[in-house]
Structure 1
Amino acid sequence: MQRRRKNKLDTVGTGLLAGLALPVLIFFIVYLVTEDEVSFADYISGMWQMHALIKLSSLCVFANVAVFWFFLKKKYEKAARGVLGATILYAFLVLISRAV
């Protein structure tokens, strides 16, 4: 039986970092594309007042599906587990913020 070579990117930490960083990056890109004159703090506060911050954040987390499938295609199961963990963490944050 052949033994699979261990890849240094196939760690839970790599997946967790990718799963946490990608939604934040997408959120910043959305901010930069949509608002020119508004500061980031004002943007966040305006989105919170309109009850759109949680919805936009949830859409940004949706991109984790692509990263999850990428890691599975590459057979990086541990990294995919990290992305799944980050997605679950974001889901808990959404649930907590909806209760507030």
Structure 2
Amino acid sequence: MQRNRGNKLDKLGIGLLAGMLLPLFIFVIVYLVNDSSLTFSDYIKSLWKIHVLLKVGSLCIFANLAIFWGFLHLKYEKAARGVLAATLLYAFVVLISRAI
């Protein structure tokens, strides 16, 4: 009997890594497109001060939808689960941040 190996990219860890890194990458791009006269830490502090850090971060997480659908289209269900797990982790962080 032949064993079904599947694809090397169809792993929970790959999806989790992609789901965690893509929103951060997009956030850095937003920082670079905006006023780059501030340092990155000052930029984050200013967003937190005017209460938009969580909103901008939540918008960056929408990119996970694209890679989630991409993994599903390629039939990489395990990787798609990883992206979903990363999105839920981000949602949990936002929920905790709102409670503080």
Q: TM-score, normalised by structure 1?
A: 0.95
1:52-84 deviation per Cα after TM superposition (whole angstroms, max 9, x unaligned): 000000000011000000000000000000000
Q: Distance in 2 between matches of 1:82 and 1:49?
A: 32
State the Cα distance separating 1:4 from its structure 2 match: 5.5
Counterpart of 1:21 in structure 2 is 21
With 32-41 and 45-54 compared, the bigger mean Cα shift is at 32-41
1:10 pairs with 2:10: yes
CA-based RMSD: 1.3
1:52 pairs with 2:52: yes
4+ runs of 1 displaced by more than 4 Å?
none
State the number of aligned residues. 99
Q: Which amino acid aligns with 2:47?
A: M
Q: Distance in 2 between matches of 1:25 and 1:40?
A: 13
Q: Which amino acid aligns with 2:25?
A: L
State the Cα distance separating 1:5 from its structure 2 match: 4.8
Q: TM-score, normalised by structure 2?
A: 0.95
State the Cα distance separating 1:13 from its structure 2 match: 0.2
Runs (5+) with no aligned partner, structure 1: none
SS at match of 2:9: coil
Q: Which amino acid aligns with 1:77?
A: E
Q: Distance in 2 between matches of 1:36 and 1:57?
A: 18
Percent identity among equivalent residues?
Answer: 63
